[in-house]
Amino acid sequence: MTESFGAQLRRYRLAAGLTQEALAERARLSGQAIGALERGDRRFPYRATVDRLSAALDLTDEQQQAFAAVTSRRGTPGASRPEPGAKDPPRQLPGQLAVFAGRDAEVDRLLRLFEEPETAVVAAISGMAGVGKTSLAVHIGHLLAPRFPGGQLYLDLRGHAARPTAPIDALDALLRALGDTEPGTLATLQAASAHFRSLLAGKRVLLILDNAPDVEHVAPLLPGTAGSAAIVTSRAVLPTLAQAHQVFVDVLPERAAVELLAATAGPDRVAAEPDAAAAVVRLCGRLPLAIHLAGARLATRPGRPVAHLAERLADEHRCLDELEATPTGVRASFAWSFDQLALGTHPLDRQAARVYPLLSLLDVPDLPTSVVCRLLDLPEQETERLLERLADLHLLEAPAPGRYRLHDLLRRYAGELATAITVPDRAAALTRVLELYATVAWRGMALVSASSHRLDWAAGRAEATAAPALDTPAQAFGWLDTHHPPLVAAVEQAIGIPGVPGDVVASVGLGLFAYYRAGARWRDAIRVNEAALALVSAGSDRAAVATLRNDLGIAAAELTRASGSDDYRRAHDELRQSLADCSRLDDRRYLAACLNNLCFVFGLGNDLDEAVDFGERSLALNRELGMSQAETMTLVNLGVLYGRKGDPQREFAYATEALDVARRTGDDRGMAYAQSRIGVVHQEAGRYEPAVTNLRQSARLWRAAGVRLDEGIALAALGRTLLDMGEPCAAAKVLADAHTLLHHHGGAERETAVLADLELARNAAKCAGEL
């Protein structure tokens, strides 16, 4: 009796010492498939599956022949070969691809899909223009061809054309390919579709329907019974295509992209300039069409270095020209997708085409929905409908809910379209976005520092409509975290667009100070404030100019401290200029604030006497003006200075007075600062119990305020205190939390000391048997 395929497979697997799971991994099949084959649930696997198993089992030629012979009895005679007298089955697949790389996962998935003979399998491959949908479909078609002896049909439905192939015309072509000489006698689409399905019944035919415009063009062309199958490609997602398996094709992984470039341009060229080759595929956005064209350009210009092409691609005004091969270039491919919208019959499509160029105005990869609403000046629901339509056509990516992304090359294409947007319209769109950022920034400021004199500057300014409801500092700062890259891009782009109001840009910078302080994002603060200062310095808003310079001075000082340098010249220069500006303002609160910041920054630079002088002047002015919150901060700063001058009693007195003022006025932030300092003074004096009490309360207050950096600073001091008290286990836990906060919230300059304390605490705890 002839041994079954399943029995042979099991015998060979056991002889190789493999489990079903191990064999499945080697053969790139599922464990379920191996089990079904060995049990006989699938007695006659496809040839491609047999070949994978043979390779995975390392069978000899004789064993492979026996293996394949068992599968040759698959199905009925009518399903495995043409009927006697019938014409040869159609073999319409385009030629085998000379270069195909980087699609192993997609190939595996598609091959597994077509192992299911119980239904008429339909795979719908979608992706952006140039991503390689047709290449993948044709490659799979050739792999599957032996499984479909009834023929392989290929039809381009011309979904990118102004007039796609009509379903009735597509059926005419398919029926003729199957041997029907008079398909035109069928009067209706329904009749032709039914006749087509009848011809496919009992046969194993593979259809590749390329460049489908929509579901309506595809549905009448699909097989209706098991045996035959279809692969559909489309730039649009086809979610309503009945029982279709959706396969999304993305850009290539970097390694595969470089391999594709090497296969096209020549491996020696790429190997000789690996960095330049990596730059080329990156500038091509890892898009297969673009990489093919770049490789072809290199191949036809053997004397030019790869770096020369990378340099030309880096020029945003020339990039798409370098990747053009009319009519199959990158720009032409994108234009087909865009024209499908612009020339569409549905109003939503035409509106999506109108707004698409605006999406390129912000030079950032990700676009949150809330930002796009302001950019387009449309309600959220309408904006989402437009964005989703663009995503359906893969003119836009949707990587996460509420976030959208333009591929690099699509951004450049949209940028070319955007040249038609007038300068006033550009300025208006950017201004709307900046107003949203300013609104959220000032809400964060008000939640953290409700008595700040800055809020008076912002009072009465128009708030952006549809700004998010944010009730806590954590919510406001969290929103700014996720929106920060487009925020910085918008501020810096405002410099180059005439008509963007300088006071709006200044409002963004001034409102963000609390956010930048909480996260120690001082480099970002400098970028934003320098851009804002460039727009308002020539104007008449002296308070804005003075405060922007003040903030630049603080940011420069903090960056100097973090770097370990003692060169505070820029910080001093910015703050002295701010002091001169503040001295000319009628509102002396600006002067008091600047003097306090000079006190702090000169203290960082060890100019203690000058720092104390600035601090005492600020303290007197704050008391005169009744600025209790500012008084608290100045008292803490002065106390630190007196402690460094060798007077811990005076430091303690100033910190205690600061705490009294903060408690009297309900200033939680001031209490947190004061108690942190009081705790450190107690700790340095060996008074550990009150030190722990004050530091714990300080950390709780900072946590409640959402200021995680200062919470980390307080916890670091608390951990050190617990270690000094002989409680290493408790110290280790607190120090670990402190390190996490400092690491993630801008406290890099303090991490080394905290890690050293943490190691001491853990070692001490181990010695004590507590860890």
Under the banding of pLDDT at 50, 70 and 90, the label for residue 42 is low
Kindly state whether residues 293 and 231 are assigned to the same domain: no
Under the banding of pLDDT at 50, 70 and 90, the label for residue 705 is confident
Kindly state whether residues 309 and 371 are assigned to the same domain: no
pLDDT above 70: residue 82: no
Q: Mean of the pLDDT values across residues 32-43?
A: 68
pLDDT above 60: residue 258: yes
CATH label of the domain that carries residue 239:
3.40.50.300
Beginning with the edge strand found earlier in the chain, give each strand of the sheet holding 403-405 in spatial order. Answer: 366-368, 403-405, 397-400
Return the closest-CA partner of residue 244 out of 210, 213, 218, 206.
Answer: 218
Return the closest-CA partner of residue 262 out of 409, 139, 99.
Answer: 99
Using the 3D structure, point to which of 305, 322, 339 is the last residue of a domain.
Answer: 322
* 163: three-class secondary structure by DSSP: coil
Kindly state whether residues 367 and 397 are assigned to the same domain: yes
pLDDT at 84: 39
Kindly state whether residues 297 and 403 are assigned to the same domain: no
Under the banding of pLDDT at 50, 70 and 90, the label for residue 678 is very high
- Residues 759 and 746: their CA atoms lie apart, in Å, by 21
Residue 90 forms part of a structural domain: no
pLDDT above 90: residue 520: no
Kindly state whether residues 224 and 192 are assigned to the same domain: yes
Using the 3D structure, point to which of 322, 347, 368 is the last residue of a domain.
Answer: 322
Residue 708 forms part of a structural domain: no
Residue 141 forms part of a structural domain: yes
Kindly state whether residues 308 and 352 are assigned to the same domain: no
Q: What percent of the chain has pLDDT over 70?
A: 92
pLDDT at 649: 92
pLDDT at 31: 65
Return the closest-CA partner of residue 135 out of 167, 99, 169, 173.
Answer: 99
pLDDT above 50: residue 75: no
pLDDT above 90: residue 676: yes
CATH label of the domain that carries residue 44:
1.10.260.40
Residue 438 forms part of a structural domain: no
Q: Return the minimum-mean-pLDDT range out of 37-51, 55-69, 143-157, 268-282.
A: 37-51
Using the 3D structure, point to which of 420, 439, 457 is the last residue of a domain.
Answer: 420
Kindly state whether residues 142 and 242 are assigned to the same domain: yes
pLDDT at 529: 95
Mean pLDDT of the chain: 86
| Bridge partners of residue 367, in order along the sequence | 404
Query: For residue 357, what are the domain limits?
Result: 330-420
Residue 526 forms part of a structural domain: no
Q: What is the DSSP annotation of 500-527?
A: --HHHHHHHHHHTHHHHHHHT-HHHHHH
Kindly state whether residues 314 and 369 are assigned to the same domain: no
Q: Return the minimum-mean-pLDDT range out of 70-74, 101-105, 304-308, 386-390.
A: 70-74
CATH label of the domain that carries residue 412:
1.10.10.10
Give the residue with greater pLDDT, 71 vs 482: 482
pLDDT at 41: 58
Under the banding of pLDDT at 50, 70 and 90, the label for residue 44 is low
The amino acid that residue 695 corresponds to is L
Q: In total, how many domains does the chain have?
A: 4
Burial class (CB in 10 A: 0-12, 13-18, 19+), 65: exposed
Q: pLDDT by residue (tens digit) across 300-312?
A: 788 889 998 898 8
Q: pLDDT by residue (tens digit) across 169-189?
A: 888 889 888 887 665 556 688
CB-based contacts of 41, cutoff 8 Å, min separation 6: none
At 468, phi and psi to the nearest 5?
Answer: -65, 150
CB-based contacts of 557, cutoff 8 Å, min separation 6: 568, 571, 600, 601, 604, 605
Residue 769 forms part of a structural domain: no
pLDDT at 237: 87
Kindly state whether residues 120 and 222 are assigned to the same domain: yes
- Residues 295 and 622: their CA atoms lie apart, in Å, by 68
Kindly state whether residues 15 and 124 are assigned to the same domain: no
Kindly state whether residues 131 and 242 are assigned to the same domain: yes
Q: Mean of the pLDDT values across residues 248-273?
A: 89
Q: Mean of the pLDDT values across residues 229-233?
A: 94
Q: Mean of the pLDDT values across residues 225-251?
A: 88
- Residues 73 and 594: their CA atoms lie apart, in Å, by 90
Q: Is the peptide bond before 327 cis (omega within 30 degrees of 0)?
A: yes
Kindly state whether residues 190 and 218 are assigned to the same domain: yes
Residue 763 forms part of a structural domain: no
Q: Mean of the pLDDT values across residues 523-541?
A: 85
Residue pair 433/365 in contact (Cβ under 8 Å)? The answer is: no
Q: Mean of the pLDDT values across residues 505-530?
A: 92
Q: Mean of the pLDDT values across residues 617-645?
A: 93
Residue 268 forms part of a structural domain: yes
pLDDT above 60: residue 511: yes
